[in-house]
Amino acid sequence: MTSPVFSIIVPTYNRPKQIADCIAHLRGLAGPPFEIIVVDDGSPEPVGGPIGSESPVPVRIIRQENQGPGAARNRGAKEAAGTFLAFTDDDCRPVSGWLEAFYRVLSERGDVLAGGPVINALTSNPYAAASQDIITFLYETDNTDTAFFTSNNFACRKDVFESVGGFDESLRIASEDRDFCIRCRVAGIETVRVPEASIEHFHDLSLRSFWRQHFRYGIGARQLSDKLNAGQPGSGLSVRRPDFYARLLTHPLRSGGKHRLGRSLLIALSHIAMAFGFRSAAPRPSRPRSASSP
């Protein structure tokens, strides 16, 4: 068997249908030789062996105790045989030429982190669409030091990934991809957008799960901000300028599609949820003990 050029790493937890569908789709990708590494992050029912047994593409299934998505991706990277690593999630479907697009960039430029766009596949779901509007807006416009690619669609050389130290496994809730991209830039590794390397995201959301997701994003943002401040006081995440939020809120109106006004309102709601999450994760000051306290 030809040695893989790419190792595609897919973390999963308790979503047997999604991971089976994802693997079936990944098998059909064009491009250089690749393997698929599924890291089962402690699902109650282990991912079944038949997922990989009938495939012409090598599929390895690794099971570990639940440690979070960052740890699962790190485990996949450690086990990878490919020169290049490509990361996606079990509810994502890359375009056929996904690996080819990444390979063109990575084979020419070497020490870069390449990220592709994410497209909402559930266009009738306003919550999924609004959540994706935020990511798309950031992908297309954010050029700050804290800009990032989402971990369901980026690729790099394995040695580059290892040189940065992989994902911070302590950031279990969210922001591990944002932290990774920040550390790449600090290490002098350029982040490069690859518009041709797109994926479709099938993330079904309700109002409740939309709120919960963005509340958790707020918690993750607080944890990352505290980490940045601990390394260099004053370098934590901060509120953007008003014009940034104005452009973000009106992004659905400019981009078109279904539920444009509703999506704008949901983006506002998402930031309220993130603010609550950010505040909930703030360290609580200890109360001074009174003289009569034991």
What CA–CA distances, in Å, run from 88 to 31, 240, 249?
A: 16, 29, 27
Supply the pLDDT for residue 226.
94
| Residues 190-201: tens digit of each pLDDT | 999 999 999 999
The pLDDT score that the predictor gives to residue 105 is 96
**Is 40 a residue whose pLDDT tops 90?**
yes
> Is the model's pLDDT at 294 over the cut of 50?
no
Indicate whether 279 pLDDT > 90: yes
pLDDT of 53 over the 60 cut: no
Complete domains list, the chain, with CATH: 6-205 (3.90.550.10)
Confidence of residue 2 (pLDDT cuts 50, 70, 90): confident
Q: Is the dihedral of CA 149, 7, 205, 117 positive or negative?
A: positive
Q: What is the pLDDT of residues 131-189, one digit of tens each?
A: 999 999 999 999 888 889 999 999 999 999 999 999 999 998 889 999 999 999 999 99
Residue 84 has pLDDT above 50, yes or no: yes
Please list, residue by residue across 217-236, b when 16 or more beta carbons sit within 10 angstroms of its beta carbon and e when fewer do. bbbbbbbbbebbeeeeeeeb
Question: How large is the average pLDDT for residues 78-84?
Answer: 97
pLDDT at 285: 60
Beta-ladder partners of 120: 201
Q: Cα separation of 154 and 101, whole Å?
A: 11
Q: Is the pLDDT of residue 287 over 80?
A: no
Structure tokens at 118: 């994410």
Positive or negative torsion for Cα 266, 92, 21, 11: negative
The proportion of the chain whose per-residue pLDDT surpasses 70, expressed as a percent, equals 94
Residue 289 CB contacts under 8 Å (≥ 6 apart), including other chains: none
Q: How many helices (H) and strands (E) are present in the chain, helices listed first?
A: 11, 10
For the record, the structure tokens of 14 come out as: 């308790």
What per-residue confidence (pLDDT) applies to 293? 34
Query: What's the whole-number average pLDDT of the chain?
Result: 91
pLDDT given at position 1: 55
Task: Please report the pLDDT score of residue 54 as a whole number.
Answer: 57
